[in-house]
Amino acid sequence: MGNTAEEKPQIPLLKPYKLGTFQLSHRVVLAPLTRQRSFKNVPQPHAVLYYSQRATKGGFMLTEATGVSDTAQGYPETPGIWTKEQVQAWKPIVDAVHAKGAIFFCQIWHVGRVSNTGFQPNGDAPISSTDKELSSQIQSNDIDNAGFSPPRRLTTQEIPQIVNHFRIAARNAMEAGKPLVIMHPNLSTLVSFTKIFATGFDGIEVHGAHGYLIDQFLKDGVNDRTDRYGGSLENRCRFAREIIEAVTAEVGADRVGIRLSPFANYMESGDSDPSTLGLHLAETLSRYGILYCHMVEPRMKTLGEKSECLQSLVPMRRAFKGTFIVAGGYDREDGNKAVEEDRADLVAFGRHFLANPDLPKRFEVNAALNKYDRSTFYLPDPVVGYTDYPFLDETA
């Protein structure tokens, strides 16, 4: 007698997992992927299709990096969540993902010095932990941004305002959905409690990786401050801690995660002792009871390039008491191995999930994957390289 559907052996990546109060049906996470199709920094209707294509019942998804304020921008056409128009524009996207039964977190970010005056309000200098200028380089989006402007070092007095921008962005994200409409027992009419019962994003991921503003405080290769936000490891991590404190106070620790890349040197943001930095962050942030820690593998030293590496995230995985998500160059085989060997609870996939909107299904049947086309990653096109990758049944 053959196996029933329930008895069918599952690969580790497809085993169910309880992420706090969320019941996941598999461990394949949609990584945050900057797409540069949010014209004038406002999410567009074509994002409804893009995200819902990749949504599965019980799947866990992260948005592309989403700006917390008008000073947070460093790339063309990236979304924000600091204006009412932006919040409204996220609503149909969130609703479409929820309609498929997926869990959806909004990744909030600030680019810091990875910007120029053209992206900044009133043509101001970008803000950072430092006034050290980033050298010109070809960026991950293949734009030759020769125009990085010298940043302005934030004063100690200004930092609470930036922390508050993250807090407000988190609040906005939790409100970016349809209000629940309930019948009050003493009334014959429907009453909408929008503020209290908003069904927006399910949670928040704080972007603390890849050489952006939080990372510019964390790494001693960038942070040259002499105040309480610089110098010692404890001081360099203060900005990240204050943001986590603010966001968890706003939405609850059980709805907050953070992405970190202690080993990476993206945007000239390297650290002299990344293992100690990563371990300190894992231990410290664990004390806040946040839902998860999402770390980029040390093999991803430079953007998009996987290299041999002796360093490991395992000590951080052991130190962090919540869910541990890994990212960085994973495929089906080593994603399964990471879960099987208990090096991770969940695995985030970027380029493969972009090119294969039905990635969990392909993993299940071990189907060949569509090849991704790097040249279309950041086209400002509502379809090409965005929603036109075929599903398995379309290629059969």
134: which residues sit within 8 A by CB, 6+ positions away? Answer: 113, 114, 148, 151, 267, 268
Lowest mean pLDDT among 83-97, 339-353, 382-396: 382-396
pLDDT band at 144 (very low <50, low <70, confident <90, very high): very low
Write the pLDDT tens digit of every residue in 241-266: 999 999 999 999 999 999 999 999 99
Residue 111: CB atoms within 10 Å: 25
Averaged pLDDT, 316-340: 97
Predicted model pTM:
0.91
- Taking the C-alpha atoms of residue 86 and residue 48, their distance in angstroms, rounded to an integer, is 14
Asked if residue 188 belongs to a domain, the reply is yes
Catalytic entry in 50, 51, 75, 212: 212
In a domain, 2, yes or no: no
Sign of CA dihedral 17, 22, 24, 29: negative
SS3 309: coil
With a CB cutoff of 8 Å and minimum separation 6, the contacts of 275 are: 262, 263, 311, 315
Q: Is residue 331 part of a domain?
A: yes
Q: For residue 6, is it within any domain?
A: no
DSSP 120: S
Domain coverage including residue 184: 14-395
Domain count, the chain: 1
Cite the DSSP H helix spans in 44-103. 46-53, 84-99
- Active-site residue flag, 288: no
More confidently predicted of 383 and 186? 383
pLDDT at position 199: 72
The verdict on residue 7 lying in a domain is: no
CA torsion through residues 229, 231, 237, 241, sign: negative
Question: Sign of the C-alpha dihedral, residues 63, 148, 209, 73?
Answer: negative
Is the per-residue pLDDT at 178 higher than 90? no
- Which CATH number characterizes residue 95's domain? 3.20.20.70
Instruction: For residue 382, tell me if it sits in a domain.
Output: yes
**205 domain-assigned:** yes
